Structure 1
């Protein structure tokens, strides 16, 4: 069955180039009305351009509907104004893809606190601002699809990107609580970790790999995650046409007897603590406590009613 976005209204931040542009073009091709948001800055967050309008012109030339927006995701009032404008023009906002971001790559030893703060401000607070601006609308209309952009750096780390990695993993955490709050309002929230050859990564890929990892090869995963039948709380990795799922898991753990609840006791049990046999993928933070109680019960340290064994 063809996935359509006919009559849906979508906002894509950072859509003046790269992944955001690719998302916006395909959403429009499939019938969505698209707000193309982009401040027009370079990859380190400086300068401006008319990148958003250029993408809008592409969409309109192909027969689609779009509007340009030059607001900064770091300014909540500007995000509110962007959403108000979309609702005034088209009546709703159904989809938000939080894609805007910058890089300030340096080793942590050489990184200024301002470089750390700005990257977190754009990626994390930018996504929070845009999401907050659409949240009440999505609750009221009982429909919303939100996509956060994480990264393999956030999930697994990368040398010289402590600021970027911190912000990107935070977005995955943002998703994990937000999807719970949105569930009864039919708001589905997911996390995408893309690998793509864009201006953000052009000096990281060899030329042939750069072509292989074209942004268009991430689009299928992104659009599925904001479609009507999208899952919620998924972490999806996508690049070069390969789509995979990532998980935050929890091992069964070890119930240390009271006399062994010491650093030495943890060291002695470390191989068992880290064994992945029987691990689970929790659906909420409450399951960590439930897993601890299960381990205590299995060891006989407490009874099923919670009393000491």
Structure 2
């Protein structure tokens, strides 16, 4: 499905990114495997993961090149797109997957906790997308696949930085879809449920341990087919959408639209808002759910 395409997958050394890179290569794509080789906290570890994925792709008969740049740096993002152009002559697919976590309850969150997560997830998605957009525009084709999260779409405690970044990516993806549709460029989001070292690092209370057992069944390879499909020409009618993937389930996620309205021809006062608007609209208020409240059943 991706024959003759060139894909850049960020954060592709492990987990979901690795599985997407491997499956894209198996479906004919030449892949730039980006991974700086850092810990979940963003600290240097090794450049090994990217090299390992490249070796696996080549051993299976595919073609790939490693890139060790950080998506949080604009120059590095431009360089990884340039690497695709210099190595393979073009770029057709960008998968914005790189991420880190700095989970902490909001009143204890530091500026550095906030900045580092926003920089990798939101700025990183912007930097890489912006670098590729010029090439997509000139060739009048291209596909963006962004990773969002139900931490933003629904909510999770202790993740204000991550949730804000993931909701920002929703807005970025929709804007790309609108701005670049005339160039035959598409942009969609995946909200993945998969056990990874990122998920494994999230603090959990003892009552959540049973749920964690079911989450461990959600392997990263379940996400890859959706990414391959969205990257392919067979999804040419799919643009500006959000898909959640949970094991063998695929969900089309809602996007904000008006639910109900109230009107007073003479205008509103604080008192009439209290007496009229509140009781009318309150039955349609969205509950203060967490992700596990909405996705409460055990995946199969």
TM-score relative to the length of structure 1: 0.84
Question: Are positions 1:213 and 2:221 aligned together?
Answer: no
Higher relative contact order (CA 8 A, sep 6+): 2
Matching residue within 48, 51, 54 for 2:52: 54
Match of 1:160 in 2: 158
Give the Cα–Cα distance (whole angstroms) in 2 for the partners of residues 263 and 174 of structure 1: 35
Give the Cα–Cα distance (whole angstroms) in 2 for the partners of residues 187 and 85 of structure 1: 21
Give the Cα–Cα distance (whole angstroms) in 2 for the partners of residues 241 and 124 of structure 1: 28
Question: Are positions 1:249 and 2:263 aligned together?
Answer: no
Question: Are positions 1:144 and 2:142 aligned together?
Answer: yes
Give the Cα–Cα distance (whole angstroms) in 1 for the partners of residues 189 and 270 of structure 2: 36
Secondary structure class of the residue paired with 1:132: helix
Matching residue within 5, 16, 20 for 1:19: 16
The farther-off stretch of 218-227 and 128-137 is 218-227
Give the Cα–Cα distance (whole angstroms) in 1 for the partners of residues 76 and 120 of structure 2: 14
Give the superposition deviation at 1:262: 2.1
Give the superposition deviation at 1:271: 4.6
Query: Where does 1:163-182 land on structure 2 (aligned, <5 Å)?
Result: 163-182=161-180
Moved runs in structure 1, 4+ residues, more than 6 A?
none
Secondary structure class of the residue paired with 2:106: coil
Match of 1:285 in 2: none
Gapped runs of 5+ residues in structure 1?
277-309
Greater share of residues in helix:
2
Whether the aligned pair in 1 keeps the contact of 2:15 and 2:196 (CA below 8 Å) is yes
Give the Cα–Cα distance (whole angstroms) in 2 for the partners of residues 54 and 155 of structure 1: 33
Give the superposition deviation at 1:72: 0.6
Whether the aligned pair in 2 keeps the contact of 1:190 and 1:234 (CA below 8 Å) is yes
Question: Are positions 1:259 and 2:256 aligned together?
Answer: no
Question: Are positions 1:6 and 2:3 aligned together?
Answer: yes
Match of 2:278 in 1: 270
Matching residue within 117, 121, 132 for 1:123: 121
Whether the aligned pair in 1 keeps the contact of 2:2 and 2:228 (CA below 8 Å) is no
Matching residue within 226, 229, 245 for 2:231: 226
Give the superposition deviation at 1:55: 0.6
Match of 2:27 in 1: 30
The farther-off stretch of 209-218 and 230-239 is 209-218
Whether the aligned pair in 2 keeps the contact of 1:24 and 1:34 (CA below 8 Å) is yes
Give the Cα–Cα distance (whole angstroms) in 2 for the partners of residues 189 and 116 of structure 1: 26
Whether the aligned pair in 1 keeps the contact of 2:118 and 2:165 (CA below 8 Å) is yes
Matching residue within 34, 38, 41 for 1:44: 41
The farther-off stretch of 242-251 and 139-148 is 242-251
Give the superposition deviation at 1:203: 4.5
Deviations 1:68-123 (A, max 9, x none): 00001011111112211211221110000000000000001111111011100100
Give the Cα–Cα distance (whole angstroms) in 2 for the partners of residues 190 and 262 of structure 1: 41
Deviations 1:252-292 (A, max 9, x none): 5435224341233333223544666xxxxxxxxxxxxxxxx
Give the Cα–Cα distance (whole angstroms) in 1 for the partners of residues 15 and 154 of structure 2: 23
TM-score relative to the length of structure 2: 0.87
Query: Where does 1:54-93 land on structure 2 (aligned, <5 Å)?
Result: 54-93=52-91
Gapped runs of 5+ residues in structure 2?
203-208, 285-300
Secondary structure class of the residue paired with 2:251: strand
Deviations 1:215-248 (A, max 9, x none): 0111122222222132000011002121101112
Matching residue within 167, 174, 184 for 1:186: 184
Match of 1:284 in 2: none
Whether the aligned pair in 2 keeps the contact of 1:251 and 1:274 (CA below 8 Å) is no
